[in-house]
Copies of this chain bind each other. A is one copy, B any other.
Amino acid sequence: MAHVLKAFLEPKSIAIVGVSKTPNRPGHLILRNLREFGFAGDIYPVNPEGGKILGYKAYKSIKDLPENIDLAVSMVPADDTLELLNDCADKGIKNVLLVSGGFSESGEIGAKRQMAVVDLAKQKGIRIMGPNAVGPVNTSDSLVLHFYPMDYLKEGGVAFIAQSGQFCCPVMEHVMSSMHLGVSKSIDLGNCCDIDEAEAMEYLEEDPETRVIAMYMESIGTGKRFLEAAKRVTKKKPLVVFKTGRTEDGLKTAASHTGAIAVDDTIFDVALRQAGIIRAFDLDEFLDLTKIFDSTHIPKGNRIAVITYSGGIGSMVADACGDFDIKLAEFSKDTIEKIKPFLLPSTKTSNPLDCFAVGVPLDINDVYRVSLAAFMGDPNVDIVLLCLMVNRWVWSVDLNRVLSDLKQCQNKPVAAWVIGEDTLVREQTGTLEENGIPVFASPERAIRALGALWRYHSRIFES
């Protein structure tokens, strides 16, 4: 049997109930997103007035729809949901996305409303995503099934599961536009009244486009099921979890958002680790870890070689290594021989390697290039971090030269940090990431991400 999430992520036909003719209303924008991104399946808007909306024929009621529709999307007020479910059942629609709010997130009346929805859906054999959910995205099908006005899609290996629409809307736009990451799927579970994280994970486990699953949670509904699924999934794909509600204030706020229930954070933390989950504690870390796990090179150990342009950076990096379980590599003799000709006689081949401590007639880019190639071939080095500076005059990184020896030997994770004038930094960041080298906003954050990458894979190697 096909996984239930297939109907939500890969539908061939979608009915949208409560489509609005007024531009900028959510019930209008959801149709606009489907059209603008070029979704190829069948789309059936439902609006009591009928007519045409954005070029699509509008049906006056669910009853009038054709048979065999994979998925219904509800944009109707919360109070009309039971009627909608009954109509869907009559029409044989077995999968319903509830976008509207007004359920457990909005107090007691809403919670009762949600319980009634769950009961009826069970009785009718209908599976529900939401309520209070922005709906899924599937980039390979050009499916943007939510009302958030997305600018563009970028296909790639990152899948989001979230209990908050914003991770599938503005944060996802940030991830695609500013972080240069591509997205495979995004699934906002909203109040999570039926389809839950475990099922979403199971679906993504088998999704060939998904390399890393990034999950934002405010609560775990069925903890045991979730952890069992995670234990299996994390053996195949990394799962990064960012859970809020750690502090008293945070929990109170989460409760009013999705009705989250208190879980002792220490217990939660241990459970996550046992299930092989990588945990993030803030937004920066969540997105950094997602980025490093979307890259494809696997470290065989935690010995890092760091190429920098400054002794000061070296100290920062070394502190971060101490913090995040990464060791500064001891270079092989062969590596030292390769680098020596590029250093001043007074300079040692230290790690971090300060490329600026070279004889000035030499170009710093040659030192970067030769040392990078040497580290990639050094059996004592598992990971490489490039710390680069850019400016418009001299000593600026020239990536064409720095990376020219790299392609034959890219068998290790390489991460980078670039600093200097903003426009140049952005240019070089783009080039590095096109070459499969993820760039981080600081050397410490690069090391933190590399540490997590190493811990995940060392666990996989052990088991």
A residues engaging B (CB < 8 A)?
24-26, 29, 101-102, 105-107, 109-110, 148-152, 162-167, 169-171, 173-174, 177-178, 216, 218, 244-254, 256-258, 260, 282-284, 309-323, 327-328, 346-348, 350, 352, 354, 357, 360, 389-396, 419-423, 425, 441-445
Q: Which 10 A-B pairs have the closest CB atoms?
A: A164-B312, A247-B322, A149-B393, A257-B311, A250-B319, A244-B315, A166-B310, A253-B318, A177-B422, A249-B318
Pairwise interchain contact B360-A394, C-beta atoms closer than 8 A: no
Chain B: CB-nearest residue to A310: B166
Our pick among B244, B257, B314, B425 for the contact of A319 (Cβ within 8 Å) is B244
Evaluate contact between A110 and B245: CB separation under 8 angstroms: no
B311 and A256 form a contact (CB under 8 A): yes
A149 CB to closest chain B CB, in angstroms? 3
Residues of B within 8 A of A357 (CB): 101
Q: Which of B26, B170, B245 contacts A360 (CB 8 A)?
A: B26
Contact A166/B313 with A245-B319, A250-B322, A425-B174 known, Cβ cut-off 8 Å: yes
> Which of A102, A249, A444 gathers most chain B CB within 10 Å?
A249
Contact (A311, B394) CB under 8 Å given A319-B250, A444-B282? no
Contact of A419 among B29, B171, B309, B346 (CB under 8 A): B171
Cβ-closest chain B residue relative to A283: B442
A100 to chain B, nearest CB (A): 11
**A151 and B352 within 8 A (CB):** no
A323 touches which of B178, B247, B311 (Cβ 8 Å): B247
Chain B residues whose C-beta falls within 8 Å of the C-beta of A162 in the assembled complex: 312
Assembly CA distance A396 to B207 (angstroms):
33
Give the CA-CA distance A388 to B280 in the complex, in Å: 22
Cβ–Cβ < 8 Å partners of A321 in chain B:
247, 249-250
Q: What are 15 inter-chain pairs, A to B, with CB distance below 8 A? A: A29-B394, A149-B393, A164-B310, A165-B312, A166-B312, A170-B390, A174-B421, A244-B316, A247-B319, A247-B321, A250-B319, A250-B322, A257-B314, A282-B316, A282-B442
Residue from the set A149, A311, A323, A444 with the largest chain B CB neighbour count within 10 Å: A311
Residue ID in chain B nearest A250 by CB atoms:
B319
Q: How far is the CA of A357 from the CA of B102 in the complex (A)?
A: 10
Inter-chain contact A244/B312, CB cutoff 8 Å: yes
Chain B min CB distance to A60 (Å): 23
With beta carbons under 8 angstroms apart, the residue of B251, B252, B328 that contacts A249 is B328
Contact of A441 among B248, B394, B441 (CB under 8 A): B441
Q: What residues on B are CB-neighbors of A443 within 8 Å?
A: 283
Q: Do the beta carbons of B163 and A420 come within 8 Å of each other?
A: no
Q: Which residues of B contact A314 (CB under 8 A)?
A: 253, 256-257
In the bound complex, CA of A422 to CA of B244 (Å): 25
Report the minimum CB–CB distance from A193 to chain B (whole Å): 16
Task: Flag if A178 contacts B425 (CB, 8 Å).
Answer: yes
Contact of A218 among B312, B320, B445 (CB under 8 A): B312
CA distance A307 to B443 in the complex (A): 32
Take A309-B166, A315-B218 as given contacts and tell me if A391 and B441 are in contact as well, using a CB distance cutoff of 8 Å. Answer: no
Chain B residues whose C-beta falls within 8 Å of the C-beta of A148 in the assembled complex: 391
Q: Which chain B residues lie closer than 8 Å to A423 at the CB level?
A: 177
> Would B249 and A319 count as touching, CB distance under 8 A?
yes
The answer to whether A318 touches B247 (Cβ under 8 A) is yes
Contacts of A151 in B (CB 8 A): 391-392, 421
- Taken together as a complex, chains A and B put the C-alpha atoms of A327 and B250 apart, in Å, by 11
Residues from chain B with a CB closer than 8 A to the CB of A320 are: 250, 282
Contact of A284 among B164, B169, B354, B442 (CB under 8 A): B442
The residues of B that contact A248 with a CB separation of less than 8 Å are 322
Contact A312 B29 (CB under 8 A): no
CA distance in complex: A165, B309 (Å) = 10
A178 to B426, alpha carbons, bound, how many Å?
Answer: 10
A420 / chain B contacts, CB cutoff of 8 Å:
170, 173-174
Contacting residue for A421 out of B24, B173, B445, CB 8 A: B173
Q: A24-B394, A106-B347, A421-B151 are in contact. Are A283 and B170 (CB under 8 A)?
A: no
Question: With A and B bound together, what is the CA distance between A200 and B213 in angstroms?
Answer: 49
